[in-house]
Chain A
Amino acid sequence: MSDGTDNHDQAPGSSLWPIGFAIGIACILVGLVISWPAAVLGAAVTIVFGVLWIRDAARSHAPVDSAPAHALVDGTPSEAQLAAEEQHLETYGRAGFLTLATIGLGGVIGAGVVLPSLGFAVLPSFTGEGIETNPVDLGPISNFPEGTFVITSFTGSKRQGDVSRRTAYIRNNGLSAEKEPSFTIIYSRCVHLGCPIQPNGPAFKDQAKTYKDVTLTPVKPAGFGCPCHGGAYDTEGNRTAGPPVRSLDRYAFSVADGNLILGDHFSVGTVAGTAADAVMTRYPVAYPGVHVDGIERFLYPLPVPGAGA
């Protein structure tokens, strides 16, 4: 192995060419901002000094390469062979540097490609893009007879069209104790795994009405049932049988100009009381099958961004 002084001997002689090359690069970068002629001048300086640098470097490395070939002919370790050996050890450091530099640069370039792509693939699902913020107008309150459920189908997002068709079971509860209008609006998706629940009772299709693209069909359900896995609910959306883990999701509402306006979608643990007197805790909308209350809620500690209102 060589010591420090040998290393000094092997180091390439100092040269002014790299400095000129760097000045040329700086000229290009500054020129790009302030004036094109300066950038062109910088490019010319860069090319000239680059060529000089490469020519110099090539000249200083050329003789060393031929040394091992001569040495190998001779069986005994010659002066040239030892020099070649030393040269090899020296160049190993450069090879190692180039290996690391290749891996490092490759990693940087790879990250530059992969990270934006992965972000593009994953992040839009969590930014709330595509959530319709325009409230859905369900038409005049007079279309909802008091005490009767109405199967209400509507388009959730005008932009997405038919794929956003949703159904809610809406019951006009009349006026509450505070003389405010009261509606029970139950979302039709089962909170087991999201199949469409059906009202268990006769639907009066001859009394069906439409308002714009909203269809309204009165129904007299004794409860709701899910055809997929047998989940059953009462008319407040509380589970009575089967696999569901909470009560049916609901919508908030408002009344504007005599029309019922659909509000925020929210999840419910259990409902106490009935109709206008129903009491429940609102939770942020959760996926079907996800517990919102009880000890199991700790299984889902992280709120999902962009999951909707």
Chain B
Amino acid sequence: MAKSARQAQIEKAALYPLDWTEERTGLVGYTKWFLFRNVPRDVNWMQTLGAATLTAFIVQATTGVFLAMYYKPDPDSAYASIQNITNEVTLGWLVRGMHKWGASLFIILMFLHMARTFMFGAYKYPRELNWITGVILLVMGMAEGFTGYLLPWDQTAYWATVVGININATAPIAGPFIAQFLQGGAQIGPDTLSKFYSLHMLVIPGGIMALIGLHMYLVIRLGVTSPPWSPTAAGRPRDEGEEPQGYGAYREGLIREHEEDKAS
């Protein structure tokens, strides 16, 4: 169906901003590479757990940014500021609730995502680095849980942190040094609270964001794994329109070989 001149003109005008951006940044192409890609025909709902985990993290990051506007990391005012957020600030109960319950959800989803990856064999060649970055992300997520648990500065928070720090101290040789670094001195005090706050909202989230970027880059580069019962490849090569070139282009490891595949 041939387009009228007017249609073509409108289309050109509509696409102009995209072309403008693409010409100057190349970002449109990267976004297409990122979003529009082949996935196996029989992907499973279980494979949405990774995206669910990412969503949980985004919820934590967003609510955390706004909680930081009202929270005061000082022993004399931390507890009162939490009470203020929960009882006084408009919608504070909701945002704090999202952050508090979302934290548990984030950890649970990480474990479910990990279980899915394990059960599907999606950690195998060539996706080992995805597994490794994922495990580091799990550890960092739990470090977020540990550092965030102190911030309400109530009895539960205080004593749970005492026990947590002293568990670290029991590790041979380095343990006492780790504990003393964590509590920022010989005893838990004001510096412990502000140190945990800094770790909780700056240091560890920064690392998590960087690693999520690497994790997702690898997912997109290597493709989504097909389920174990799938007759098709474990991940499908991109339709590049040309013969694969170079070592990286041979995606043998992406192929889940079934007997019928070998026969054909």
**Residues of chain A within 8 A of B188, CB atoms compared:** 163
- A302 contacts across to B, CB distance below 8 A: 173, 176-177
The reply to whether the CB of B81 lies closer than 8 angstroms to some CB of chain A is no
Task: Verify B187–A306 contact, CB threshold 8 A.
Answer: no
Within 8 A of B (CB), among A181-229: 193-196, 228
A51 within 8 A of B: no
The reply to whether the CB of A150 lies closer than 8 angstroms to some CB of chain B is: no
Question: Interface size for chain B: under 10, 10 to 19, 20 to 34, or 35 or more residues?
Answer: 20 to 34
Instruction: Bits for B166-185, please: 1 = Cβ < 8 Å to A, else 0.
Output: 11011011011101110111
Give every chain B residue within 8 A of A124 (Cβ-Cβ).
Answer: 184-185, 191
Residue of B nearest to A305 (CB): B180
Other-chain contact of B169, A122, A126, A290 (Cβ < 8 Å): A290
Q: Is A125 in the interface zone, CB < 8 Å from B?
A: yes
**Smallest distance from the beta carbon of B47 to chain A beta carbons, Å?**
39
Tell me the count of chain A residues lying within 8 A, CB to CB, of chain B.
33
Total A-B pairs in contact (CB under 8 Å)?
90
Which chain B residues border A164 with CB–CB below 8 Å?
Answer: 187, 189
Are A195 and B162 in contact (CB-based, < 8 A)?
yes
Is B190 located at the chain interface by the 8 A CB criterion?
yes
In this assembly, does A307 line the interface, its C-beta being within 8 Å of a C-beta of chain B? yes
In the bound complex, residues from chain A placing their C-beta under 8 Å from that of B175 are 287, 290, 300
Chain B residues closer than 8 Å to A195, beta-carbon distance:
159, 162-163
- Kindly list 13 other residue pairs between chains A and B, CB separation below 8 angstroms, not including A124-B191, A300-B176, A304-B180: A125-B181, A130-B191, A131-B185, A131-B186, A156-B187, A160-B75, A162-B76, A193-B163, A195-B159, A195-B163, A228-B163, A289-B166, A301-B173
Chain A residues in contact with chain B, CB under 8 A?
122, 124-126, 128-131, 156-157, 160-164, 193-196, 228, 286-290, 299-302, 304, 306-308
Q: B residues within 8 Å of A by Cβ?
A: 75-76, 159, 162-163, 165-167, 169-170, 172-173, 175-177, 179-181, 183-191
29 A-B pairs with CB atoms under 8 Å apart are A122-B181, A124-B191, A126-B177, A126-B181, A128-B185, A128-B186, A130-B186, A131-B185, A157-B189, A162-B75, A163-B189, A193-B162, A193-B163, A193-B167, A194-B162, A194-B166, A195-B159, A228-B159, A287-B170, A288-B169, A289-B169, A289-B170, A290-B175, A299-B172, A300-B172, A302-B176, A304-B180, A307-B176, A308-B186
